[in-house]
Structure 1
Amino acid sequence: MSIKVVRSSKFRHVFGQAVKYDQCYDDIRISQMTWDSNFCSVNPKFVAMIVDASGGGAFMVLPLSKTGRIDMSYPTVCGHTGPVLDIEFCPHNDNIIASGSEDCSVMVWEIPDGGLVTPMTDPVVKLEGHSKRVGTLSWHPTAHNVLMTAGCDNVLILWNVACGEAMMRLDTVHTDIIYSAVWNRDGSRILTSCKDKKLRVLDPHKGTVIAEKDKPHEGSRPIKALFVSDGKILSTGFSRMSERQVALWDPNSFGEPLTLQELDTSSGVLLPFFDPDTGVVYLCGKGDCSIRYFEVTDEAPYIHYLSMYGSKESQKGIGYMPKRGLEVNKCEIARFYKLHERKCEPIVMTVPRKSDLFQEDLYPDTVGPEPAVEADEWFGGKADAQPILISLKDGFATTTKTKQFKVHKSLMKTTTASMGDQQDSCGEVQSLRNEVKQLKETIADLTKRVSKMESKL
């Protein structure tokens, strides 16, 4: 008689639960665009969602505490002339968010601490370099002010946001629309998936292709991919029979997958999220009512199914909270912000524990908000630095204070506006404004003197 041995794992009983109704963000018109991005970005301060807007593109940014019914007249970020396709908060400054749009532009915005009071139409920086809609954004994980964008023009651009310049433009690598573009943990590699059914690993300093995999999934629907532990790659896609699949690859030997599992026959693209601290990957399907989670290990079969969170309503998009924004005293290991048609619903993933003490095995030191290197140094060829880690033992409030003090001000000092070929520095623009102001005052003074002399005559 054979005995079935159950694999031991502290994440076997991860429990997903939606928050109470009054802790949701209600009466929000989520965008109806059919684009396979998250449509939502969150950090310990704000939650941002792409919303429907007449006459252009807009997204809403709410302080996390502003739950309940959101007034129809609540101000939005509405500077784009076409629908917004992707948004992402900067990992080094919780007040900075980037947006990509159908109007072919990328804009970087600074959100005031308490949220918006009036509609925001003027970005801090406008990045223009794509000739078709921009559907993918990703901030560098360790270098400050480095942004990667990918458009439907098959072009991938690396920007120095501090001066509004495109520092590297990869326009011959991809032969079709880029479905996803992500960094690895220290930003030394870029992984892209493309409509030409290829996964590519790129060197961001040289702009060269290091490894390439043709047809990781046979189906024609979009493929999503990201780096997991030990440099391995996890991809989601479709089989030739339109079954959804998840696969794990070793980019050093890209021939056969380490494992490939078929999940179901739903049509929604699976958006993967990976937590390097726990080794858990979450698969959220667009249009699904569920979130599946798996544990990724270094022994066969490599991807171990844990459980599934299910609900009655389907998700139009999903946001994933950085680890430093979780409530460690409740053993919370992940939090998602699920977009419905008219609301945003936080979903909390917890590991049931009886003790109220800090659980060190659940919360190893994690990525903090401090950048390891500045954009100029990184583009100058400085070696890729590992993320600066922080302890969550005292919660995330202490880390937020130091981050605001350092990053917020340095970005304001170095940021400049970029419109097409015009790349004037902030100092030059300000000096021109001062000169114009002085000239206006001089003209006003002369006008007064002339009118006095005329009256005497």
Structure 2
Amino acid sequence: MSRKVVRSSKFRHVYGQPVKADQCYDDIRISQTTWDSNFCAVNPKFLAMIVEASGGGAFMVLPLSKTGRLDKSQPVVCGHTAPVLDIDWCPHNDNVIASGSEDCTVMVWEIPDGGLTRPITEPIVTLEGHSKRVGIIGWHPTAQNILMSAGCDNIIIIWNVGTGEAVITLDEHHTDMIYSVSWNFNGSLICTSCKDKKIRVIDPRKNMIVMEKEKPHEGSRPVRAIFVSEGKILTTGFSRMSERQVALWDPKNMEEPMSLQELDTSSGVLVPFFDSDTGIVYLCGKGDSSIRYFEITDEAPYIHYLSMYSSKESQRGMGYMPKRGLEVNKCEIARFYKLHERKCEPIMMTVPRKSDLFQEDLYPDTVGPDPALDAEEWLSGKNADPILISLKDGYIPSKSRELKVTKNLLSAKGPRRSHSSNEAGFTSDSSLDKLVEEIKQLKAAVKDHERRITELEERTGK
């Protein structure tokens, strides 16, 4: 009788553990929008969540340490005029976040160290160019100030946030709604999935489709696609019988998947999160109450099931912490921020080890916060892998970095092109003077209001 040999892996016993109740974030009205985004973004400093808002769109930003029950008057970021659909932290500046909205705009915001003390309504820059709602945004992994957005107008725009310009518009490749867009490791290519049942690998700077695959999954439900190790592509989708599937593809030969696995018959779209350091992919379904995780290797069947974290309550969205925000002394290899109806619950993924020493095999050098290129270098055709850092002594978030966005906007040589990519021409000196005058008037009005508020407070004896 032959014994089945179990594949050895240091990640076989990874387990998920929610934090204690007092370390959750309570009393948050998570957005009820039915959009398929994560509704949550997190970095080593802040947690951002899209929340319900009257008369426009808003998201909440909290310092990671601000756990427990939140004050009803917690200030929010609320400059959009319609619901916010997606948010993403800048990988090169932990104080900068971008948001995409149903109002067809992308806005970039600066969050002060320590979090918000009052609502923020004025973004650093507003990016206008989409004609329909903007449902997907993603910062470039290695080039500073490069931001990608995808709208329901079936167009992907790549922006130089420093100048407020649309530098690349991909408007010919997608015939229907775009479900997902993902950068590869060095940001030279993007992978998209679309309602027209195709996944595409696009070179954005050449405005060219490098590879296309029709029907990676037979079902009609949305497909998600991301780059994983060595440029391979992982997709999640549905079979013809509505079973959820995960597949791995080699872009050099897209005839058949390297591996295709059926999971279950739930209806939620599976959102993949890939950790390039460990080769683990985590699948989180909206409306699910579980996180499945798999190891991707060079040996068949290539996608190896590891385990599943389950809980009682389903998730409305999920945030994924960058590796530099984890507790390396506890052998934590991933952390998720699970959104419930009214709270956010961190879940730690841990490798059980007895030693308290730094485990070098679990923490190879990982992606750090410094950009490898500036926007102009990337646009000129240069590529560079992310700059890696060691986590041996833990990562200490730096104080607020100099914000290149503002600097570039103010010191751009010559007159700056207007925000809208489809408006030709430049901002004239007269309109600049007009803006300055308007700002002066606004400042005067604010001062007047503040003076009146102080007088009223004194009268009422506060």
Same-fold call, TM cutoff 0.5:
yes
- Please name the residue that 1:450 is paired with: none
Provide the residue aligned with 1:389 in structure 2: 388
- Equivalent-residue separation in structure 1 for 2:432 and 2:94 (angstroms): 27
Match of 1:189 in 2: 189
**Secondary structure at 1:143 match in 2:** coil
Partner Cα distance (1:115, 1:127) in 2: 24
Report SS of the residue matched to 1:144: coil
Give the structure 2 partner of residue 251 of structure 1. 251
Q: What is the total number of aligned residue pairs between the two structures?
A: 431
Deviations 1:230-288 (A, max 9, x none): 11000000011110000000011111000100000000000000001000000000000
User: In structure 1, the residue corresponding to 2:377 is in which secondary structure?
Assistant: helix
1:241 to 1:391, Cα distance in 2 relative to 1, 3 A? same
* One-letter amino acid matched to 1:300: A
Partner residue in 2 for 1:148: 148
Contact 2:105 2:130 in 1 (8 A): yes
**Correspondence for 1:433 among 433, 436, 440:** 436
Match of 1:374 in 2: 374
SS at match of 2:44: coil
Unaligned runs of 5+ in 2: 411-415, 441-462
TM-score, normalising length: structure 1: 0.91
Deviation at 1:425, TM superposition (A): 10
SS in 1 for 2:187: coil
Equivalence for 1:89 = 89
User: Which residue number corresponds to residue 449 of structure 1?
Assistant: none
Q: What residue in structure 2 maps to residue 410 of structure 1?
A: 404
Q: Secondary structure at the match of 1:162?
A: coil
Equivalent residues of 2:148, 2:156 under 8 A apart: yes
Equivalences for residues 7-46 of structure 1 within 5 A: 7-46=7-46
Q: Read off the aligned partner of 1:433 and give its amino acid letter.
A: V
* Contact 1:124/1:415 (<8 A) preserved: no
Mapping of 1:209-224 within 5 angstroms? 209-224=209-224
Quote the Cα distance in structure 2 between the aligned partners of 1:130 and 1:337: 30
Corresponding residue for residue 451 of structure 1: none
Percentage identity across aligned positions?
A: 74
Answer whether contact 2:124 2:405 (CA < 8 A) is retained: no
CA RMSD in angstroms, aligned pairs only: 2.0
**Shift of the alpha carbon at 1:431?**
11
In the other structure, the counterpart of 1:360 is 360
1:41-190 → structure 2 map (5 Å cutoff) = 41-190=41-190
CA distance in 1, matches of 2:159, 2:258: 34
Q: Which has the larger radius of gyration?
A: 1
1:267-311 Cα shifts (integer Å, max 9, x gaps)? 000000000100000000000000000000011000000000000
Q: Which runs of 4+ in 1 moved over 2 A?
A: 408-412, 415-426, 428-437
Is the 1:92–1:370 contact (alpha carbons within 8 Å) kept by the matching residues of 2? yes
The one-letter code sitting in structure 1 at the alignment partner of 2:408 is: T
Amino acid at match of 2:220: S
Partner SS state of residue 415, structure 1: helix
Paired AA for residue 45 in structure 1: K
Q: 1:435: how far off?
A: 12
- The one-letter amino acid paired with 1:15 is Y
Alpha-carbon distance in structure 2 between the residues aligned to 1:435 and 1:81: 21
Q: Distance in 1 between matches of 2:288 and 2:369?
A: 32
| Equivalent pair of 1:164/1:423 in contact (CA under 8 Å) | no
The one-character-per-residue Cα deviations of 1:72-127 (angstroms, maximum 9, x if unpaired) are: 11011111111111000000000100000111111001011111111111110000
